[in-house]
Structure 1
Amino acid sequence: MAIDLVLVVGATGSVGRHAVAGALDAGYRTRALVRDRARAGRFPEGAQLVVGDLTDPGTLREAVAGVTGIVFTHGSHGDARAAQLVDYGAVHNVLSVLDVPARIALMTTIGVTKHTPGHDWKRRGERLVRASGLPYTIVRPGWFDYNEPDQHRLVMVQGDTRWAGAPSDGVVSRAQIAHVLVASLTSDAADRRTFELVAEQGAAQSDLAPLFTALQPDPAAALDGVLDRDNMPLDQEPAAVVAELDAFRGRF
């Protein structure tokens, strides 16, 4: 899939701003989704601002019109309800108004398979992406910007086994997260890959292709990432979530 116009969801966030800049640097026409144009702050020259509310799909049609790539960097910082409306809702609402296929890069979090209200809604968002039939990469970053001065070498791991809920799970810079998300859009090796992203001691790699190539793909028709533990049975999920997931299956 050729990538021409990239939409960044969560563009005003600390990772989203890096993603906007990275997409522009990569040569894409880049659209930044903001809730309030007057409060959005400055973006790099060339970024297109589009206004929409992640909790209201009717306001998002202009944002998705014509896009060929979508980078999700959004996230809530509230309670379970906020997680449902934003962490899950943004994925559901953006994809529900998407008319033509687009390549997806979704940021969630390391430890997402450890049950918390916020994690569970992020994981449900991952499941919508996998069920949709769209090409995708799901990135689960470690703790933002906790890197030591010599920690720049990116490491991608799978299975989501790091559950400490502390920087010991792994650290990575916001700029590195955005770089990986944008780079995944045009990598065949990154398609249908779900992985945790951390930075360890050493220099940053100039080429991410070997890292993507070493990853295992998610199994066809799977709802969860390859090697993820099976601890969120579908038959125990809320009926509304199951119905929305069923509506997304094979949509593209």
Structure 2
Amino acid sequence: MTQTEDTTPAQSPTRASSPVLVTGGTGKTGRRVVARLRELGVETRAASRSGGTRFDWESPDTWGPALEGAEAVYIVPLDTEPSPTPAFVERAVAAGVRRLVLLSARGVDVPGYFGDSVLDGGPHLKGEQAVRDSGLAWTILRPGWFAQNFSEGVFLDGVRAGELALPVGDGRAAYVDAEDIAAVAVAALTEDGHDGEVYELSGPRALGVTDVLDEIAKVAGGTPASYVPVEEAAFRDGLVAQGMPAVEAELWTAALDPIRTSREAPLKDGVHRALGRSPRDVAEVFRDAAAEGAWG
């Protein structure tokens, strides 16, 4: 996708006069959102089961104290059924929150995006509907697969071990930088002009897993880790053999299907629309990760 540079003047941030609550405040995007907000001088509550503000999706008694007096909330939802997000949004409205920014996921509004109906109409879509119906100012973020999954997430152990086995064939994905997701979230939380927007977020180019591993090798040194394609059934059975519940293993396998089918390959313009710049490439993301010792 070809993008043109935005030549309009940058908007001045509208700082929240009350705290911004960040759920999942110690997670991949949450901790980055917290850091960026605090750099801007915005009073921020990092909420999680182990964070400065206690918050547990499975303990609704923690929601009220976390929400008290908050001006805006970044919602990192619990991806389970039944989804607790609608009930949390109701509590946010009752607490006087004025703005919600929801982390959703790419493809949640496309039937069959995840291969079959297993994830259609799931918790992300229900969360989106809840914030739309809340009566508050809202922004929805729909990122694809994170580039950081190779440096600090679910694929890291395989990369470090030298062999990454996945059921994605030759599929490609435009992996998105978690820092870009955080930057868009912070813009939506602190600036005017983002209300009612749904930002589809991707990186600037689509790569196969072998391409990604080559990019890591360029900055980490040594021989690239080997990519080993496996069948979906074998992958799912392997997860169960490692102790993962069968239902969760099925969901994980389905979540990878958009990479296998290259549904994650088309480039999206959400970063450019929100920030007026191009998204960061995985090469830059991995240079930073290598400098921090991600792969030893």
Shared topology, TM-score over 0.5?
yes
Q: How far is 1:167 from its partner?
A: 7.2
Q: Does 1:97 align with 2:97?
A: no
Structure 2 residue corresponding to 1:68, chosen from 68, 71, 81: 71
Name the CA shift for 1:174/1:72 in 2 (closer, same or farther; >3 Å). Answer: same
SS in 2 for 1:28: coil
- The runs of 5 or more residues in structure 2 that have no matched partner are 1-13, 112-116, 151-167, 206-269, 277-296
| Residues 41-60 of structure 1 mapped to structure 2, 5 A cutoff | 49-60=52-63
CA distance in 2, matches of 1:180, 1:197: 9
CA RMSD of aligned residues (A): 2.9
Q: How far is 1:134 from its partner?
A: 0.6
SS in 1 for 2:140: strand
CA distance in 1, matches of 2:171, 2:187: 25
Q: Paired residue for 2:273?
A: 211
Q: How far is 1:131 from its partner?
A: 0.3
Name the CA shift for 1:184/1:84 in 2 (closer, same or farther; >3 Å). Answer: same
Name the CA shift for 1:167/1:6 in 2 (closer, same or farther; >3 Å). Answer: farther
Identity %: 30
Q: How far is 1:118 from its partner?
A: 4.4
CA distance in 1, matches of 2:86, 2:65: 16
Name the CA shift for 1:59/1:93 in 2 (closer, same or farther; >3 Å). Answer: farther
Q: Paired residue for 1:188?
A: 192
CA distance in 1, matches of 2:200, 2:87: 25
Q: Paired residue for 1:15?
A: 29
Q: Amino acid of the residue matched to residue 102 of structure 1?
A: R
CA distance in 2, matches of 1:172, 1:210: 13
Q: How far is 1:53 from its partner?
A: 1.9
CA contact (8 A) 2:73 2:97 kept: no
Q: Does 1:178 align with 2:182?
A: yes
Q: Amino acid of the residue matched to residue 91 of structure 2?
A: V
Encode CA deviations 1:101-142: one digit per residue, 9 max, x unaligned: 321111111111234544521101100000011101100001
Structure 2 residue corresponding to 1:139, chosen from 141, 160, 168: 141
CA distance in 1, matches of 2:68, 2:104: 24
CA contact (8 A) 1:147 1:171 kept: no
Q: How far is 1:188 from its partner?
A: 2.8
Name the CA shift for 1:95/1:169 in 2 (closer, same or farther; >3 Å). Answer: same
Q: Does 1:28 align with 2:28?
A: no
Further displaced range: 133-142 or 9-18: 9-18
Q: How far is 1:2 from its partner?
A: 5.5
Encode CA deviations 1:14-73: one digit per residue, 9 max, x unaligned: 1111111111112210101121x3xx5xxxxxxxx1112212322211100111110112
Q: How far is 1:13 from its partner?
A: 1.3
Q: Amino acid of the residue matched to residue 136 of structure 1?
A: W
Q: Amino acid of the residue matched to residue 185 of structure 1?
A: L
Could you say which structure has the larger radius of gyration? 2
Name the CA shift for 1:34/1:107 in 2 (closer, same or farther; >3 Å). Answer: same
Structure 1 residue corresponding to 2:109, chosen from 94, 106, 113: 113
Name the CA shift for 1:141/1:57 in 2 (closer, same or farther; >3 Å). Answer: same
CA distance in 2, matches of 1:117, 1:28: 40
Q: How far is 1:196 from its partner?
A: 0.9
CA distance in 1, matches of 2:201, 2:46: 24
CA distance in 2, matches of 1:53, 1:147: 23
Name the CA shift for 1:104/1:167 in 2 (closer, same or farther; >3 Å). Answer: farther
Q: Amino acid of the residue matched to residue 143 of structure 1?
A: W
CA distance in 1, matches of 2:142, 2:131: 14
Q: How far is 1:211 from its partner?
A: 1.4
CA contact (8 A) 1:189 1:209 kept: no
Name the CA shift for 1:176/1:213 in 2 (closer, same or farther; >3 Å). Answer: closer
TM-score, scaled to structure 2: 0.52
What is the number of residues matched between the two proteins? 172
CA contact (8 A) 1:7 1:33 kept: yes
Name the CA shift for 1:93/1:55 in 2 (closer, same or farther; >3 Å). Answer: farther
